[in-house]
Amino acid sequence: MTKLTKQEVAVELDRLMSETGKNMETINHYISLQKQEDVDIKHLIQVISKYVDDADLRMELGLHGFCACMMSRLSKVTKRMYGKEVWEQIFGGLEIPKTGWTSLTMIERQDFALSIQNKFASVASLDDYKRALEAVSRTWVSKDGSIGTTKKEVTLSDLDAFIRECNENHVNYHGTDRTAMEEFDSEKWKTRREGSKITVVQIPFLKQKYLLETDEKMKRYYACRCPWVRTSILKGETVSASFCHCSLGYQKQGFETFFGRELDARIVRTVIEDGALECVFEIDIPDDVMMGH
């Protein structure tokens, strides 16, 4: 592809959006433009912001930037948890995205995630892979992916109050119509305590499209919040749901901070898998809290 000047990038984006619409192909073409040596990435972001008046496409562009450094974090966590020799067999020689914006298209991200998953399974185990992914989520609040070890004395009443607070802030309604607001304010989507378990249901990424969509595959795609694997839903070359332990770690890290200890948790279902239309996670409440101590 011929190198483009900044002005030519603006013209190219305008033409592409007019011809193909505002969709993922536009985003992937935009990402390919980033690879041009004469294009300034910050300028490109400004250009795309001016040209994109579609709220969902802006969110998809934002998702591409969000968690772009996830693989870099996984690399560091893996070396810390399993040592240099294991790290070298999985990540050695790879160019790993480190910044908020990367030149990998969504399909390239899916392929990268799948290759890392396969390497992890052959070099270590899927359980090790899951633990590392959960630790990655904790790096958003702890530099090395560890958690606080000072156990807090809390009661079920304290937990119920914390869950109510979580539910008050559980969904961002920016750009969302009234129908979607009513749907996602329903009990179905709220975190709840059920006996000795905490059930967390993840709000879909593109809420309005999710509600309007009737095709199951597209509904799952609109629900998925992960910029590394959501394209695999469309391609039918699904990355294993083991990858969703990154989301599991993210969902439980707030409760681990609340209790001051590591918690047992599991994936109930995830939209990466056929037939699942929402991601659901389950977290165990510590026995001493259940017993009132």
Burial of 37 (0-12, 13-18, 19+ CB in 10 A): exposed
Q: How far apart are CA 204 and CA 188, in angstroms?
A: 12
Q: How far apart are CA 54 and CA 61, in angstroms?
A: 11
pTM here is 0.84
118 CB contacts (<8 Å, ≥6 apart)? none
Q: How far apart are CA 24 and CA 227, in angstroms?
A: 12
Q: Where are the domains of the chain?
A: 6-53, 70-138, 156-290
Closest CA to 129 of 93, 81, 192: 81
Average pLDDT, the chain: 83
In the DSSP assignment, the letter for residue 277 is -
Q: For residues 158 and 30, which has the higher predicted lDDT (pLDDT)? A: 158
Q: Which residues pair with 266 in a beta bridge?
A: 282
29 CB contacts (<8 Å, ≥6 apart)? 16
- DSSP, collapsed to helix, strand or coil, labels residue 128 as helix
Hey, CA dihedral for 31, 35, 37, 42, is it positive or negative?
Answer: positive
- 103-112, 113-122, 174-183, 202-211: least confidently modelled range: 174-183
Q: Is the pLDDT of residue 40 over 70?
A: no
For residue range 41-78, list pLDDT tens digits in order: 566 666 666 655 667 777 777 777 778 889 999 999 99
Chain centre to alpha carbon of residue 221: 12
Per-residue confidence at 173, pLDDT binned at 50, 70, 90? Answer: low
Q: Work out the number of other CB atoms within 10 angstroms of the CB of residue 161.
A: 12
What confidence score (pLDDT) does residue 35 get?
A: 66
Q: What number is the average pLDDT over the span 221-238? A: 87
Per-residue confidence at 12, pLDDT binned at 50, 70, 90? Answer: confident
Nearest-10 crossing angle of helices 126-138, 70-82: 120
What confidence score (pLDDT) does residue 96 get?
A: 86
Q: Are 258 and 287 in contact (CB under 8 A)?
A: no
